[in-house]
Amino acid sequence: MPPVSKPLHDLTVAELAASLKAKSFSATEAAQHFLTRAQADTGGSFLAFNPEATLAQARAADERLTAGTAGPLEGVPLGHKDIFVTRDFPTTAGSKMLEGYRSPFDATLVRRLAEAGVVTVGKLSCDEFAMGSGNENCAYGPVKNPWDTRRVPGGSSGGSAAAIAARLVPAATGTDTGGSIRQPASFCGITGIKPTYGRASRYGMIAYASSLDQGGPMARTAEDCALLLSAMCGPDPDRDSTSLDVPAEDFTVALSADLKGLRIGIPQEFFGEGLASDVRAAVDAALAELTKLGAALVPISLPRTELSIPVYYIIAPAEASSNLSRFDGVKYGHRAKDFTDLESMYKLSRAEGFGSEVKRRIMTGTYVLSHGYYDAYYLQAQKIRRMIADDFQNAFKLCDVIAGPVAPKVAWKLGENANDPVADYLADIFTLPASLAGLPGMSVPAGFGAYGMPVGLQLIGNYFKEAMLLNVAHRLQQATDFHLRKPEGV
Ligand code: GLN
């Protein structure tokens, strides 16, 4: 293979993997290239580096490339959302609570990707414990959107999305509880997929809301997401009891399948009053492109879309209040100094370690689970959650894939919602339904809207239909060039 003509940071995961196998450059050169770019970044995407560990991983990759024992992604550099625990790097979950924490083990997804050959460049910023929609809730500062540095990158996987858009890494991991892969991907003009709940192990992913949390890949192209997802999925019965007994799949095989006859469901509730006209225009144009490729648009209804906000903002905080009780100053993380007894140690450690949004969720969650309110809130939310899942099954009788916007508007300005947490919650309206139903969902660049900001098209599939989503996204990317465009100065 001849030497590559593009700068390394403009190569996709697929191109990097092929070039590394062809020895156009070494894994060490690639790691150094991305490390240098990432360390010079001023957008706040990264929370931690460990150049020695990165270069040691790269050298090991080079040895395997030479020995002919290379994995499918051997030597490909990647960043991990700081919600995944890693042995070689500190893990904070974006919280002061875990400042300086070093895990004795790697999360399953981190391990699986390492086994496929990836090299970790560093840990990526996120909202504290993945609670947020703008990456503004990170205890270590906000992340800037490379398309407009005055705007948020989305959240909670904002560092991952911004780093990919700024070409600091070709790909990253993200997690999605209520939209945290899809919405930042949309806001930063990249591609991301959340698989079916249970397809990817949650082991070593710091828990937010366990019945919703799911990890997945973020990259510039659907093909890259397919490559990464193939390495990430698969059962993990000994470590995650909710991981499903569904074998790993090669998600690249159906990427180029014909879209002729594909029925794309258009939920009327996703195109109502709340949707900004610029986002609607970009989404409509992307849908028109898909019809040119042979797909048919079918009107459908997801009648409980609006209810997904109160339902999610009851269930997720309820689970969070339980999950986060482990941070008590004893076993993990921050311990206050000025305590007088055990109770004051708990109280002070938690008061000092958690940020305000996390505290708000713990209080809400504790409230909805408390005696007397459990039936009125938590149980009721669980029932509606089931109805939302049923609504999707009814819709999938009429269509193969569901499409719509990812978010009602483009990325907002940093600080714009600072005193209005509910404004952030409301912006999750289109991503929450698929999360509550445990369905796979993805965001693929659809164009640009107001202020020149990227707009994503959301694709939602039935359970285990990730390959279909990736196929639709890949065909769209063959017909459009939104995923190839770069923010100014990158
Ligand atoms: N914005 C949602 C929340 O704050 C979703 C976050 C996520 O998916 N991790 O809970």
- For the cut 60, the answer to whether the pLDDT of residue 471 exceeds it is yes
> Does residue 156 have its Cβ closer than 6 Å to ligand 1?
yes
Average pLDDT over residues 186-207: 98
> Does residue 168 have its Cβ closer than 6 Å to ligand 1?
no
pLDDT class of 3 with cuts at 50, 70, 90: low
> Does residue 178 have its Cβ closer than 6 Å to ligand 1?
yes
pLDDT class of 332 with cuts at 50, 70, 90: confident
- For the cut 70, the answer to whether the pLDDT of residue 443 exceeds it is yes
In 172-188, which positions are buried (b, 16+ CB within 10 angstroms) versus exposed (e)? Answer: bbbbbbbbbbbbbbbbb
> Does residue 431 have its Cβ closer than 6 Å to ligand 1?
no
Distance in Å, CA 391 to ligand 1 centroid: 22
Shortest-distance atom of ligand 1 to CA 179? 8
Percent of the chain with pLDDT over 90: 97
> Does residue 133 have its Cβ closer than 6 Å to ligand 1?
yes
Phi, psi (deg, nearest 5) at residue 197: -55, 125
Average pLDDT over residues 451-462: 98
Question: Could you confirm whether 21 is annotated as catalytic?
Answer: no
pLDDT class of 299 with cuts at 50, 70, 90: very high
Shortest-distance atom of ligand 1 to CA 132? 4
Distance in Å, CA 71 to ligand 1 centroid: 33
Average pLDDT over residues 172-195: 98
Structure tokens at 377: 């809130």
Helix (H, G, I), strand (E, B) or coil at 219: strand
Shortest-distance atom of ligand 1 to CA 208? 9
Distance in Å, CA 177 to ligand 1 centroid: 6
> Does residue 195 have its Cβ closer than 6 Å to ligand 1?
no
- For the cut 90, the answer to whether the pLDDT of residue 5 exceeds it is no
Distance in Å, CA 312 to ligand 1 centroid: 9
Q: How far apart are CA 243 and CA 233, in angstroms?
A: 9
Distance in Å, CA 288 to ligand 1 centroid: 30
Average pLDDT over residues 379-403: 98
Shortest-distance atom of ligand 1 to CA 428? 1
The three state secondary structure string of the chain is CCCCCCCHHHCCHHHHHHHHHCCCCCHHHHHHHHHHHHHCCCCCCEEECCHHHHHHHHHHHHHHHHHCCCCCCCCCEEEEECCECCCCCCCCCCCHHHCCCCCCCCCHHHHHHHHHCCEEEEEECCCHHHCCCCCCCCCCCCCCECCECCECCCCCCHHHHHHHHCCCCCEEEEEECCCCCHHHHHHHCCEEEECCCCCCCCCCECCCCCCCCEEEEEECCHHHHHHHHHHHCCCCCCCCCCCCCCCCCCCCCCCCCCCCCCEEEEEHHHHCCCCCHHHHHHHHHHHHHHHHCCCEEEEECCCCCCCHHHHHHHHHHHHHHHHHHHCCCCCCCCCCCCCCCHHHHHHHHHHHHCCHHHHHHHHHHHHHHCCCCHHHHHHHHHHHHHHHHHHHHHHCCCCCEEEEECCCCCCCECCCCCCCHHHHHHCCCCCHHHHHHCCCEEEEEEEECHHHCEEEEEEEECCCCHHHHHHHHHHHHHHCCHHHCCCCCC
> Does residue 132 have its Cβ closer than 6 Å to ligand 1?
yes
Average pLDDT over residues 290-298: 98
Catalytic residue selected from 45, 133, 156, 230: 156
pLDDT class of 248 with cuts at 50, 70, 90: confident
- For the cut 60, the answer to whether the pLDDT of residue 212 exceeds it is yes
pLDDT class of 487 with cuts at 50, 70, 90: very high
Catalytic residue selected from 81, 123, 144, 194: 81
Distance in Å, CA 308 to ligand 1 centroid: 13
Residue with tokens 């939310």: 381
- What's the pLDDT at 226? 98
Tell me the pLDDT of the chain averaged across its residues. 97
| CATH superfamily placement of domain 8-263+439-484 | Amidase signature (AS) domain (3.90.1300.10)
- For the cut 60, the answer to whether the pLDDT of residue 314 exceeds it is yes
pTM as predicted: 0.98
Distance in Å, CA 133 to ligand 1 centroid: 6
Average pLDDT over residues 143-170: 98
> Does residue 177 have its Cβ closer than 6 Å to ligand 1?
yes
- State pLDDT tens for residues 69-117: 999 999 999 999 999 999 999 999 999 999 999 999 999 999 999 999 9
Shortest-distance atom of ligand 1 to CA 175? 9
The residue contributing the CA closest to ligand 1 atom 10 is 131
Shortest-distance atom of ligand 1 to CA 176? 8
* Greater pLDDT, 281 or 332: 281
Angle at 12 between CA 11 and CA 16, to 5 degrees: 70
Domain ranges (residues) in the chain: 8-263+439-484
Q: How far apart are CA 128 and CA 136, in angstroms?
A: 9
Distance in Å, CA 168 to ligand 1 centroid: 24
- For the cut 80, the answer to whether the pLDDT of residue 1 exceeds it is no
The residue contributing the CA closest to ligand 1 atom 5 is 178
Catalytic residue selected from 180, 243, 308, 349: 180
- What's the pLDDT at 331? 85
Lowest mean pLDDT among 19-23, 219-223, 328-332, 385-389: 328-332
- For the cut 60, the answer to whether the pLDDT of residue 266 exceeds it is yes
Q: How far apart are CA 114 and CA 57, in angstroms?
A: 9
Question: Could you confirm whether 23 is annotated as catalytic?
Answer: no
Structure tokens at 391: 């609504």
- For the cut 70, the answer to whether the pLDDT of residue 2 exceeds it is no
Percent of the chain with pLDDT over 70: 99
Question: Could you confirm whether 156 is annotated as catalytic?
Answer: yes
